[in-house]
Structure 1
Amino acid sequence: MNTVSNSLNELAPVLGAAAMRQADRVTIEEIGIPGFTLMESAGRETTRVAQEMIELLMDVYSQADSPATGHVICVCGKGNNGGDGFVIARYLASYGHRIEVLLMAPESGYTNDAAANLKILRKLAAIQKNLTVLPFSTTAALDKLETPDLLVDALLGTGLQSAVRAPYDAVIGWMNALMVPVLSVDVPSGISSDSGHMMGCAVAAAETVTMGALKPGLLLGDGPDYSGALHVVDIGIPAHVLQRIAASHDSPRISNSRYVAARLPEKSRKDHKYTSGPALIAGGSASFPGAPALAARGAARSGSGYVVCACPEEIRTILLEKLDDIPVESWPDNAQNGADAVQRLVTKLGARWTKAKSLLVGPGLGRAEGAPDLVKALLTSFNGPCVVDADALFALMEERDWVRAHSGGQWVFTPHVGEFHRLLGPSSEIDLLKMGIQFAKEWNVILLLKGQPSVTFSPDGHQVINTTGNPGAATAGSGDVLAGVVCGLLSQGLSPLDAAIGGIHLAGTAADLFVEERAAPSMVASDILELLPSAIAQLLPSE
């Protein structure tokens, strides 16, 4: 395993359905923890969250020793997800709540640990008046049930592979129509645990408790819109098992502040501008003169000690006015071609070109006829890692083989989803993670796919899902700031993968700081830029 793989083990794994099944199997067969025990733990830990929800719903904080009580319906499918629901129902009934358990399969359809827990539940229901087991009959019969305070969705779980079929679709519709809070077990029923796609219909949960590790479908696609607040609970699967399974499945990881903070360079008293990450930003056009300015300031704010902004000659005066603390140089408008323009720029820059540690190409560059030649000339003339953004991505849309031959795995592509699909071309694949893995490998680049959430991919299959940011950051110019931050981190010695992971984490943190006191719709790109120092300070230890 290489150094990058080892360092990514610091990040929590995100396990799909197949990986989670294997983790269960290894825990049961190799470690010796019975499946019944895992199910008991899953139900008990989910009950803790359910109890907190009930207490809030009742708006009662007990004055005695007994908790507030409520009415809960647990909707239980026939698999292990339903078995978890049986355990939850048992615990909630023991707390004094009125519990109705809706069986979505004949009792003979339940097997193994789920069947064992149903048997226990049946015995308790015979003696506990607050616990009732109700076999499902028709969807019409559901409307006769008293509306509960809380629904527990233990219907389908992580195993869903195709569209939700009858009668489950009608039951999901009934659950959503009740307009009461829903607690989903593992994943909201109807959401693919691997891709996050809604499989025809899905439960709209207020909160979701997931077992052992996050699932991709809770973070991607439709998943975040249906999962509500997420809780990851420990059910007894050893951490080393989760890590081993994650490695064998090339599972995604989720970013965290500790990982990013550990990679941010510290400046020493001996540093000067050329030792603390000199960076080059190349972009801009008459229509978009502000984009390279935002990117250049993003690189500077991320810690680059000396940023130079390069642009077409026609907008140099504009950028000089915008960037009073960042030098601006230009390539001539009358150059014969891209190679000529770049050669003359390199001559002007002199040592500033050769000493630069990273290059960003693309912000506001425009899509003029000569743009592809200019982009290629910039990338091939520079000896170091590069960030390729915005119009530079458009310029390279048909150049996969050229990029693969020249990138050396040291270029970071930063498309949003629309740009990504244009680069990818026609594809029958709908799983975002699979598409990202395929793209990074085929183009031999680090792919930072911007979105909610953003995901970083490497050519050797690593995937890191970002955990910061909010929809307010979807504003013009925010991508320019992000590209600049990534370039700035590259210039300070971070690997292309870590620069992408760190850049999006920092930019997202800045966006999150903005919405702590202000409305997300009012966010503009310069707000992210101005809050970057606070975002970095939040990660670094105090003096």
Structure 2
Amino acid sequence: MLFLPSEIIRKLDSETIASGVPGELLMERAGFGAFKFLKNIAAPNADRFLIFAGKGNNAGDAFVIARYLIQNDKFVEIICLADYSDYKGDAALNLQKLLKLSPRISVILDVEKINSFDWHGDIIIDGILGTGIRGEVKGIFKPAIQKINNLNIPVFSLDIPSGLNCDTGELCGTAVKAKWTAMFANPKLAVLTETGAGYCGRVEVIDIGISDEIIKKYLKENSAYDVQSTDLVDDNQQKSPIEYLKAHKNNFGHLLVIAGSMGMTGAAILTAKAAIKCGCGLVTLAVPNSILQLVAPAMPFCMTLPLDDNGKGYFSGNSIAGIIDKISKFDAVAIGPGIRTNKDTYFFFENIIPEILNKKVVIDADALNIIAQKKELLNGLGENVVLTPHPGEFERLSGVKPDKTDSDRITLAKQFVKNKKISLLLKGFHTVITNSKSENVKINL
């Protein structure tokens, strides 16, 4: 699924029109596709609709959907936030088509009239502002957006909720809070942000006929993201029912979890439990010897590997030999939760990492914080390694401040893995998964 910034979306439209597809036809497809989504999925039982139209192409889309609603015997009221003479091009053309149906339509340019306006019905359709909005929403559009939100009626937005920056997911002062959004041609980057997704509601992508040949030109653009939605489980690797009947625990791998310290036994227990829940056949939990009796009773489904800790309650140089002696038994290793960060655990981690890199390795939590303090360790990690930071850990690893982490997680993730052999799973809203070998990213949508 290709997520594109507004600049490229405009180029796609222009190139499609230049190839011989009329802009009027693109607008018709957008409006009709939105109508089908509204009628068949979003609100099949709705009968009364209020449509707000701005003055650009987004208004043209609104005029198209209004026409189809009227032709399907729905009660439709339209509020234009611009004079008829302000509409140009395909928007003006679709306004004229709509007017032939003698619709209930009015022009409101006065703020006080908007503020005093009231309406009771089923659905509000938002066709005020599109993907071109930058800076603060101004003029009549601002009180109109505020009125829509204050009416407390479900909102159906066209392409992007009015007032939402489609690239960053940030509010341009104010924005429509939609329950559904019909996005045209491609999903917008805003959906990948927590704020943007919250304002878009359920998103349906409407095919308006932009050719694959034109779209493929932008796959390798730095600002174009070929995002594969994932539920973090590869269905292609799932065993058949017959294979499951013959299977036993040794068919599903043996994981070594290196975790925990005095006061952080919960991190070790939760990690091992999660591994079992995710389908590991065997899990061995390596913990400092001092906490073994705290951990073992909570883990009847796991084996334990107590490691010498000199009675300190955390891993140290003395713990290394116990892992090296057993490492050949394991298929994969998870290391980091609750191991603490001090000179002993630093020494332990630096010296155990080279011994486990021939296995699949997940590095998390305190192990990431150790790497953040000794960034040269990143250079020694190979393609078997997955780092799994949350935003705070990612900031410490990358030096990127949290506000940037939230606003463009995909770019930051790609930049971080560049020239590194590792894979990155960046936690947070819509987990981002990527590595330097892949052109695209996977997102847990």
Q: CA deviation at 1:251?
A: 0.8
Q: CA deviation at 1:84?
A: 0.6
* 1:444-467 Cα deviation digits (max 9, x unpaired): 532222223222232355322212
State the one-letter code of the partner of 2:163. G
* Contact kept in structure 2, 1:279 and 1:358, CA below 8 Å: yes
Q: Which residue of 1 aligns with 2:432?
A: 455
State the one-letter code of the partner of 2:424. L
Q: Distance in 2 between matches of 1:397 and 1:258?
A: 26
Any residues of structure 2 matched to 1:26-37 within 5 Å, and which? 26-30=15-19, 32-37=20-25
Verify: 1:381 aligned to 2:355, yes or no.
yes
State the one-letter code of the partner of 1:370. D
Verify: 1:357 aligned to 2:346, yes or no.
no
Q: CA deviation at 1:102?
A: 2.9
Q: Distance in 2 between matches of 1:400 and 1:153?
A: 49
Q: Distance in 2 between matches of 1:335 and 1:406?
A: 31
State the one-letter code of the partner of 2:87. Y
Verify: 1:465 aligned to 2:438, yes or no.
no
Q: Which residue of 2 aligns with 1:117?
A: 94
* 1:256-315 Cα deviation digits (max 9, x unpaired): 469720134676899776664222110111112132233223323433333221111111
Q: Which residue of 2 aligns with 1:198?
A: 171
Q: Which residue of 2 aligns with 1:14?
A: 3
State the one-letter code of the partner of 1:211. F
* Contact kept in structure 2, 1:19 and 1:246, CA below 8 Å: no
Q: When you count strand as a share of all residues, which structure comes out higher? A: 2
Q: Distance in 2 between matches of 1:304 and 1:279?
A: 7
Greater alpha carbon shift after TM alignment, 327-336 vs 449-458: 327-336
Q: Which residue of 1 aligns with 2:158?
A: 185
Q: CA deviation at 1:250?
A: 4.3
State the one-letter code of the partner of 1:397. A
* Contact kept in structure 1, 2:231 and 2:444, CA below 8 Å: no
Structure 2 vs 1, CA of residues 298 and 426 (structure 1 numbering), >3 Å: closer, same or farther? Answer: closer
TM-score (normalizing by structure 1): 0.71
* 1:415-467 Cα deviation digits (max 9, x unpaired): 22333333333547332322222233376532222223222232355322212
2:138 to 133, 142, 165: 165
* 1:318-367 Cα deviation digits (max 9, x unpaired): 33322233221132112999773353123442xxx124232111122223
Q: Which residue of 1 aligns with 2:396?
A: 422
Q: Distance in 2 between matches of 1:283 and 1:341?
A: 15
Verify: 1:331 aligned to 2:307, yes or no.
yes
Structure 2 vs 1, CA of residues 241 and 294 (structure 1 numbering), >3 Å: closer, same or farther? Answer: farther
Q: Which residue of 2 aligns with 1:400?
A: 375
Q: Distance in 2 between matches of 1:112 and 1:330?
A: 74
* Contact kept in structure 2, 1:93 and 1:131, CA below 8 Å: no
1:216 to 189, 207, 225: 189
Q: When you count helix as a share of all residues, which structure comes out higher? A: 1
Q: Distance in 1 between matches of 2:136 and 2:354?
A: 48
Verify: 1:413 aligned to 2:413, yes or no.
no
Structure 2 vs 1, CA of residues 120 and 462 (structure 1 numbering), >3 Å: closer, same or farther? Answer: same
State the one-letter code of the partner of 2:267. A
Q: Which residue of 2 aligns with 1:494?
A: none
* Contact kept in structure 2, 1:254 and 1:464, CA below 8 Å: yes
Q: Distance in 1 between matches of 2:316 and 2:420?
A: 23
Q: Distance in 2 between matches of 1:445 and 1:194?
A: 28
Verify: 1:284 aligned to 2:273, yes or no.
no
Question: Percent identical across equivalent pairs?
Answer: 29
Q: Distance in 2 between matches of 1:426 and 1:251?
A: 20
* Contact kept in structure 2, 1:105 and 1:136, CA below 8 Å: yes
Q: CA deviation at 1:188?
A: 1.0
* Contact kept in structure 1, 2:317 and 2:347, CA below 8 Å: no
Q: Which residue of 1 aligns with 2:114?
A: 142
Q: Which residue of 1 aligns with 2:30?
A: 42
Runs of 5+ unmatched residues, structure 1: 1-11, 58-68, 468-543
Q: Distance in 1 between matches of 2:170 and 2:239?
A: 39
State the one-letter code of the partner of 1:168. F
Structure 2 vs 1, CA of residues 240 and 307 (structure 1 numbering), >3 Å: closer, same or farther? Answer: farther
Q: Which residue of 2 aligns with 1:492?
A: none
Greater alpha carbon shift after TM alignment, 304-313 vs 176-185: 304-313
Give the number of equivalent residue pairs: 434
Q: Which residue of 2 aligns with 1:526?
A: none
1:305 to 278, 281, 287: 281
Q: Which residue of 2 aligns with 1:518?
A: none
Q: Which residue of 2 aligns with 1:251?
A: 225
* Contact kept in structure 2, 1:283 and 1:364, CA below 8 Å: yes
State the one-letter code of the partner of 1:218. V
Secondary structure in 1 matching 2:161: coil
* Contact kept in structure 1, 2:320 and 2:348, CA below 8 Å: no
Any residues of structure 2 matched to 1:498-537 within 5 Å, and which? none
RMSD: 3.1
Q: Distance in 2 between matches of 1:240 and 1:342?
A: 58
Q: Distance in 2 between matches of 1:91 and 1:308?
A: 62
State the one-letter code of the partner of 1:174. K
Verify: 1:74 aligned to 2:51, yes or no.
yes
Q: Distance in 2 between matches of 1:390 and 1:226?
A: 32
1:86 to 56, 63, 77: 63
Secondary structure in 2 matching 1:137: coil
Verify: 1:431 aligned to 2:419, yes or no.
no
* Contact kept in structure 1, 2:183 and 2:203, CA below 8 Å: yes
Q: CA deviation at 1:238?
A: 4.1
State the one-letter code of the partner of 1:76. A
* Contact kept in structure 1, 2:232 and 2:444, CA below 8 Å: no
* Contact kept in structure 1, 2:58 and 2:130, CA below 8 Å: yes
Structure 2 vs 1, CA of residues 259 and 386 (structure 1 numbering), >3 Å: closer, same or farther? Answer: closer
* Contact kept in structure 1, 2:137 and 2:174, CA below 8 Å: yes
Q: Distance in 1 between matches of 2:180 and 2:13?
A: 23
Q: CA deviation at 1:217?
A: 1.1
Verify: 1:95 aligned to 2:72, yes or no.
yes
Structure 2 vs 1, CA of residues 82 and 400 (structure 1 numbering), >3 Å: closer, same or farther? Answer: farther
TM-score (normalizing by structure 2): 0.86
Q: Distance in 1 between matches of 2:143 and 2:370?
A: 49
Q: Distance in 2 between matches of 1:98 and 1:169?
A: 26
* Contact kept in structure 2, 1:379 and 1:386, CA below 8 Å: no
Secondary structure in 1 matching 2:333: strand
